[in-house]
Amino acid sequence: MAEAETRLAPDEQAYFYQDDRDAKCPFAPPPGLRALNEKAPVTRVRIWDGSTPWLVTGHAAQRAILSDPRVSSDDKRPGFPYPNHVMAESAPHHPLTIFNADGADHTRIRRMMTRPFTRPRMEALRPSIQEFTDELIDRMLAGPKPADLVTAVSLPLPSLMICVLLGVPYADHDFFQEHAQWATRSDKTVEQQNAANAALGGYLANLLQKKMEEPAEDVLSDFAARIKDGDLTLPEAVMLSMILLIAGHETSSSMITLGTALLLDNPGQLANLREIDDTKAVANAVEEILRYLTVPQLGQRRIAAEDFEFEGAEIKAGDGIIAALPAGNWDPEAFPEPEKLDLTRKASHHVAFGWGIHQCLGQQLARIELQVVYGTLYRRVPTLRLAVDRDELDFRPADALAFGISELPVTW
C-alpha cells in the first residue's frame, strides 16, 4: 500500500491501540480509547505493525460496521489488521473457520456448531452448573485461607462445563488448560503458539477418532459423525473442536474473576446483588457486568471488501477495521454515565459478545454460568473479600486478547 494512503491526517493523533489501562481505574477501558470516541465514533489509528486501520469506538457505529456485508473477516486479505505478529505470521496457514469465514461459508460452518449451545439446551444445564458451583464453593470453604478464586472456582467451572459439552475427559484438564492459555496471551512466540496448537490438535484428533468408533451425546461425537458422512474433514473437525475448547475456557473464567474483583470494589452494588432473589434481576446484573468489563478487549478485526463511506470516513477496499468493543460498551450515547456500575441498568444491547453474524457462539452458556456464580458465591460467602490490596492485583495489559486477572487471592 502506498505511504500516502496510510499516513494519518495532520490533525489526527497517532494513537497506539495498545495504550494501557489507567492504574487508578483498572476496570475501565484504556482512557485513550474513550478520548478517541469523544472526538468521533470512527478514527484512524496506528497499530503495532505501523499500519493505520480504522478504529470504530462508537456503540451504534460498531453495530453498524459489524453487520455490514461490505466488511469481511477474511484474515488472508492483504491489509488485515492483526492484533499481533504471531497472528500475522500464522494467518496464511489458517484453515477456514467460524472466525475468518464470510457469508455462505460462515453460515455452513456456524450451523454445524450451534446445536449444543442454544438457550433451551443451556437452560437445561442450569441445575448441573448450580451443583458444580456449590461443590467448588464447598471445597474452597473447606480449604486453607486465603484461596485463589481462579483455581478454586473461576477456571474449573467453565472448564468442566465445556468438557461435558464437547465430550473431553475433564481428567486431562491440566494438559489442555496449559496449552489453551497460549491462545489468549500476547507475550508469546510463534514457536510457543505452534507447539500448543500441535499438542492440542493431536489430542483432539485422537479423541475424534475414538468418538467415530464409540459415539456419545456430545459435540465431538457430532463432529465425528460428520467426518464419517463426509461433511467435515478430520483437520476441520480438530480446528472447530479446538476453537470451542479454548473459547470455553478463558472468557467465562475471566468474567468470574474480574466480576468478583469489580463487585468487591463496589460494596453497595454487591450488597444489592446479594439481596436479589429473582433470576431475571440477576440476569440483568450479569448483562451490566458484561458491559462494564468487556473481556474481549482487543476488538473485532475486519477488512473492507469494497469502498464505502461510513460515519464521515472514506473507507477503501483493503482498509483494516477494528471495532474496539470496550469503547462501545462505555459510549455515553448508548449507556449514560458509563463509568457507573449500575446492576439495574438495562444493558442487554452491549457488545461484550461482539455483534453481527460472528457474535459469540457460547454466549448462552457463559450467561448461565455467570448467573449461577454471581447468584451463589457472594450469598454463600457473605464475608468474601480480597486477601491483598487491589493495587497488588495483576491486571492483564490492554494488548492481551482477553482482559483478566491471573490470580485473585480471597479470604472470608
Partner 1 sequence: MKVVVDEEKCVAAGQCVNAAMDVFDQRDEDGIVVLLDENPPAELAEDVRNAAAICPALAIRIEE
**What's at 63, amino acid-wise?**
R
Q: Of the two residues 224 and 352, which places its CB atom closer to partner 1 in the complex?
A: 352
Q: Verify binding: residue 111, partner 1, rule CB under 8 A.
A: yes
Which one of the spans 49-57, 144-152, 197-205, 353-361 is the region binding partner 1 (CB under 8 A)? Answer: 353-361
Residue located via cell numbers 468478583? 260
Selected binder of partner 1 within 242, 367, 377, 396 (CB under 8 A): 367
Number of residues that bind partner 1 (CB under 8 A): 27
Q: Distance between CA atoms of 119 and 137, rounded to whole angstroms?
A: 26
- Please state whether the peptide bond connecting residue 146 to the residue before it is cis, i.e. omega within 30 degrees of 0: yes
Contacts of 79 (CB under 8 A, 6+ apart): 1, 51, 303, 318, 319, 320
Selected binder of partner 1 within 357, 381, 387, 393 (CB under 8 A): 357
Q: Distance between CA atoms of 227 and 105, rounded to whole angstroms?
A: 17
Q: Verify binding: residue 108, partner 1, rule CB under 8 A.
A: no
Cell of 123: 437452560
Residue in 379, 65, 246, 220 with CA at minimum distance from that of residue 228: 220
The dihedral over CA atoms of 95, 98, 103, 107, expressed in degrees to the nearest 10, equals 120
Q: Of the two residues 77 and 110, which places its CB atom closer to partner 1 in the complex?
A: 110
Q: Verify binding: residue 363, partner 1, rule CB under 8 A.
A: yes
Selected binder of partner 1 within 292, 310, 330, 355 (CB under 8 A): 355
For partner 1, what does the binding mask look like between residues 60 and 99, x meaning CB under 8 A?
A: ------xx--------------------------------
Q: Are strands 54-56 and 320-323 parallel, antiparallel or unpaired?
A: parallel
Residues 311-350 that bind partner 1 (CB under 8 A): 348-349
3-state secondary structure (DSSP) of residue 263: helix
Mutual angle of helices 173-180 and 190-213, in 10-degree steps: 140
Q: Verify binding: residue 118, partner 1, rule CB under 8 A.
A: yes
Beta carbon of residue 130, minimum distance to partner 1 (angstroms, whole number) = 19
Beta carbon of residue 67, minimum distance to partner 1 (angstroms, whole number) = 6
Beta carbon of residue 97, minimum distance to partner 1 (angstroms, whole number) = 15
Q: Verify binding: residue 215, partner 1, rule CB under 8 A.
A: no
Q: Distance between CA atoms of 320 and 323, rounded to whole angstroms?
A: 10
The residues annotated as belonging to the active site are: 247, 250, 252, 360, 369
* Binding footprint of partner 1 on the chain (CB under 8 A): 66-67, 107, 110-111, 114-115, 117-122, 283, 348-349, 353-357, 359-361, 363-364, 367
